[in-house]
Structure 1
Amino acid sequence: MDTHNKPPKLMDRVKATMRVKRYSPRTEKTYCYWIRYFIRFHGVRHPASMGGSEVRAFLEHLAVERQVAAATQNQALNAIVFLYRHVLEQPLGEIGEFSRAKRPRRLPVVLSHEEVMRVLGHLSGSMYLMGTLMYGSGLRLIETCRLRARDIDFERQVITVKAGKGDKDRTTLLPASCLPALQHQISTAKQQLDYRLQHGRVPVTLPHALDRKYPNAGISLAWQWLFPATRPCCDMDGKVVLHHIHPSAVQRAVRHAMRAASLPRPGSCHTLRHSFATQLLSQGTDIRTVQELLGHKSVETTQIYTHVLGKGFAGVRSPLG
């Protein structure tokens, strides 16, 4: 039997389609999880033989039996719609009404400037710098982990966030207090690069097959991770590369720092970003500017912080004083 002419397996087609469309590795992993779950839920039937009624039953199961959050149910739906629209290229059909997971209206946890400084005081080294950037620049955790030497503009004091959420680029503030630490971080990256060049030329991971277009980019200082992993690993092609620090390591360090700071409310890395937004708004910064700095697609997402601020928003006071 000629195996060369066998059609690719469904999940291989899903992955290939997502890479052509430049979806992030995290989205690829998540979508593959939900597509596999959908197939197993219906007794390993091929999705091409199913349609809207099977999708509705699956979403009902997630909401009623599994009691997942609304965002999780929407994530599963997005993965299945992607499968039918872009991989199978067949109409999904009418899904109809199904039980929606309830979306609770929760305000984000934010900290005062003094509370943030207490948290940062329990971090050290690169973890301290990453925490400072999440608060001082409003970066998401994954955006902080993915910073490269080329993304820091010391002269203009801006950070360029490449391929942030939604695969969009943006620029944000670079706090002056972070400049010496960032310069030290780039010097350390250069020393580590020089060492790797002397001991096997291990390149850093590059986006979208850039290593084929620029073969030496992976061993140039500009493309080095500011916060690299402690050791190299193998990429999906089996090549030894250096990846950035894993987000879970940063989450763990910040969680410990939050506990050590004896905060009245639990927090996370995203709390630092929330606090960046509320601090800017309380100083009277225009909400559209805050939206751009945060990289929000819609200003409605940014407006949630106006509810957090209450009477402190842009100097507005209650008529009762």
Structure 2
Amino acid sequence: MTDAAQSSSTAAPLPSPGCPPPHPSPRRPNWVLPANACDTHSHVFGPAAIFPYAADRTFTPVDVPRDEVLARQRFLGFQRSVIIQSSCYGLDHTVLLDALRSDPEHLRGAAIVTGATTTAELDELDRAGVRGARLHFMPHLGEALTPIEQRAVIDAVHARNWHVEIHVQGDGIVEHESRLAALEGRVVIDHLARVDLRQGLDSPAVRSVRRLLDLGHVWLKLSAVDRVSLTGPPYPDAVELARLFAQHAPERVLWGTDFPHPNIEGDAPDDGLLVDLVPQIAPTPAARQLLLVDNPAEVFDFACTVRETGRSGH
């Protein structure tokens, strides 16, 4: 094979529309995050030459490898982070395991699990720091599991005291509310449930989220204000929504960058701006301590917490 042919065969695939590169020069946040602040939602992509994307993926991201993701989080002031397995990797968790094993003290993960996932695979994921499994109900990410398959995954996940992570949009949270309410294990809802702000701040979806937060076993990520906003930066409408949820259930909210922002419209947001919106969402130091430190430590099993099984944080 010639050098040119070899270079072509290992080049990163062209990204899909809606998968821009990260913001090239985010501003440094103008406030100091509390010690052990956690970014609870980020993804690692590539490099594709080492960690190839699934052949049946529904989108192709820009390569943003582990070290670039972690460097961005450190620049923003986060000491802990949670890496979410992306659907573009399917059930191949090699890239996630590589990331988690690079810093077991400060990194946790959420996997994609199906009925075909073996006990040995779950054991390996657990040892590496996975503490949740994501179920998506988003057409652009592929076909959702059937109700029977979902039940099997939920049972397997909760048996390990992991949480189930739910990704819905629009009125999806209303559709799934009764089933989520009936679960006994932890549930985490991604991205403000991606409610439709055209319906206002007292829509059926917003009320559904508030009822779920009242149950005690459901948490909400106040991430992706840029996805939910109808107005654009600095996203005042979505910040108001996030603040509403943070005030309603301060012990049941989490925060994440969503870096490097796959499947969006337009350019990637300024991650420094997103961090600077946190004091508007959680105005007091006590509220920010819960949002960024205490709540993530409980949900993702970081040090100085004790899970319900009695297993100490790693």
TM range (shorter): under 0.3
TM-score norm. by structure 1 comes to 0.25
TM-score norm. by structure 2 comes to 0.25
Q: Which has the higher strand share?
A: 2
